[in-house]
Amino acid sequence: MPTDIMMPALSPTMEKGTLAKWLVGVGDRVKAGDLIAEIETDKATMEFEAVDEGVVAELVIAEGSEDVPVGAVIARVADEGEAPPEAKPQAEAPKAQPEAAPAPVPEPVKAAAPPAPAREVPHARLADKVKISPLAARIAAVRGIEVAGLKGTGPGGRIVKADLGLTDTRAPVALTATAPATAPVAEILPPPEGVPHRATKLPGMRKTIARRLTLSKQTVPHFYLSVHCNLDPLLKLRATLNGDLAASGVKLSVNDLLIKALAAALTEVPAANVQFGGDTLFEFDRVDVSMAVAIPGGLVTPVLRDVGSKSVSRIAGESKAIAGKARDGKLTPEDYQGGTVSISNLGMFGISEMLPVINPPQAMILGVAAGEQRPWVVDGAVVPATVMTATASFDHRAIDGAIGAEVLAAFRALIESPIKIIA
């Protein structure tokens, strides 16, 4: 009997996705771990791996189909030699516009004839050696977990995430648990009458950003603190370090040093490296920085792990690599899940000051503006200086004003005495 392949949930927030591209066709033979499709989520485009072995009997959802619900049947795999079933239309999927009304999922792609001789599809890494789910395989690869000796508790003895022995207690708490029972719904008004305009359908990423940031402003009590920092010492140190690192091909950006300074400040003031969890406060023992990266259609926040323990040159390499993955749409869930604090830098656009919105469930985000020439008082004398304004938004449920002031004071001290960042 054919096995249904469902639209997977490739991230905790994913409710539906776009089936961007099929990597297999009817009649192809696949094995567990083979790449079979590219799926666009609210964060990135990711490759989807087969879980079962067999021959592709039917592609139920056509490539390019949008808003396919998680759990919907997208394809069917049959045993070798088994006749393909008659294709059946799937249940209707919700329309993107308006949000409340349903619309049919695109017509299925039918297998018009018995499958041709199966052709091999390239194998993925772990699935060649052990029986493991795609999610567990990705987590094991990222965290360096040896899976050969593990006993699987999934279907047919397959190794699943729960079998990896993870003890990470810093998983985000669902913000909806603390949200009011009935949140106000903003009225969506039509455009002004008579004004020429275009109506562009929002992509999934833009809709997710709108939903999450609306929830953040409605449920998280923000307060804001700002500091003005003399950036000249940091710029001088950066020039010196880049001269020393020139032979290695590493080039430090101002943002790399700011990320390191933020981690050092939170290490100095750990009471700000926290997360609100209802009747619990999560206090973190390391700093994982979510770095805002602008990409076509929205913003993503890939995570740099354990920044406090890393050199600025390593941070530079990792930030460049992960920003490149973000712009290429190649982030995996492990790249953007988690994070204990966020940083958003708009200095390259000449912005003088910004008040960022908290990235739930985190309790702090630092917004960085441009370095500008301003008068600065040194020993009673006014001198020109490159001054940067940094504004942090805090979740007042988890962080009080005094703690927020302490962490920003520590951040400013590190910017103005940057040798402490690399010491």
In a domain, 253, yes or no: yes
Per-residue pLDDT tens for 362-416? 999 999 999 999 999 988 999 999 999 999 999 999 999 999 999 999 999 999 9
Element (H, E) at 321: helix 312-327
Per-residue pLDDT tens digits for 156-206: 677 777 777 765 433 333 333 333 444 555 678 889 999 999 998 887 778
Beta partners for residue 281, in sequence order: 276
**Spatial separation of the C-alpha atoms in residues 398 and 280, rounded to whole Å:** 10
Q: What is the pLDDT at residue 329?
A: 82
123 carries an active-site annotation = no
Residue 418 domain flag: yes
Query: Which stretch of 6-10, 78-82, 215-219, 341-345 has the lowest confidence by average pLDDT?
Result: 78-82
Q: C-alpha angle 319/321/323, rounded to 5°?
A: 65
- Whether residue 334 sits in one domain with residue 307: yes
Q: Are residues 272 and 290 in the same domain?
A: yes
Q: State whether 146 and 253 are in the same domain.
A: no
Does one domain contain both 17 and 143? no
For residue 121, give the amino acid letter: V
Q: Nearest to residue 360, comparing CAs of 211, 225, 256?
A: 211
Strands (E), 136-292: 222-230, 274-277, 280-283, 289-291
Q: Looking at the structure, tell me whether residues 304 and 376 fall in a common domain.
A: yes
Domain boundary residue among 124, 154, 187? 124
Based on the fold, state whether residues 34 and 92 are members of the same structural domain. yes
Does residue 261 belong to any structural domain of this protein? Answer: yes
364-378/381-395 β-pairing:
antiparallel
CATH number of the domain encompassing residue 111 = 2.40.50.100
Helix, strand, coil percent content, the chain, rounded in steps of 5: 30, 25, 45
Last-in-domain residue among 93, 124, 155? 124
Is 51 inside a domain boundary? yes
**Residue 243 and residue 374 in one domain:** yes
- Rounded CA-CA distance 311/292 in Å is 20
CATH number at residue 163: 4.10.320
* 114: in domain: yes
Say if residue 78 is in the same domain as residue 136. Answer: no
Q: Is residue 150 part of a domain?
A: yes
The CATH number covering residue 306 comes to 3.30.559.10
Which of 371, 122, 421, 134 lies closest to 264, judged by CA?
A: 421
Q: 351 and 241, same structural domain?
A: yes
Q: What are phi and psi of 294, to 5 degrees?
A: -80, 130
pLDDT mean over 300-327: 94
50 plus 95 within the same structural domain:
yes
Residue 197 inside a domain? The answer is no
**Integer Cα distance of 175 and 278 in angstroms:** 9
**Do 143 and 117 share a structural domain?**
no
Which residue range forms the structural domain that includes residue 256? 222-422
Which 3 state secondary structure label does DSSP give 76? strand
- Catalytic residue, chosen from 123, 222, 228, 396, is 396
Could you tell me if residue 217 is inside a domain?
no
101 and 157 inside one domain: no
Residue pLDDT, tens place only, 67-125: 888 889 999 888 766 655 554 444 444 444 444 444 444 444 444 444 444 444 433 44
Looking at the structure of the chain, the number of domains it has is: 3
Higher pLDDT residue, 146 or 118?
Answer: 146
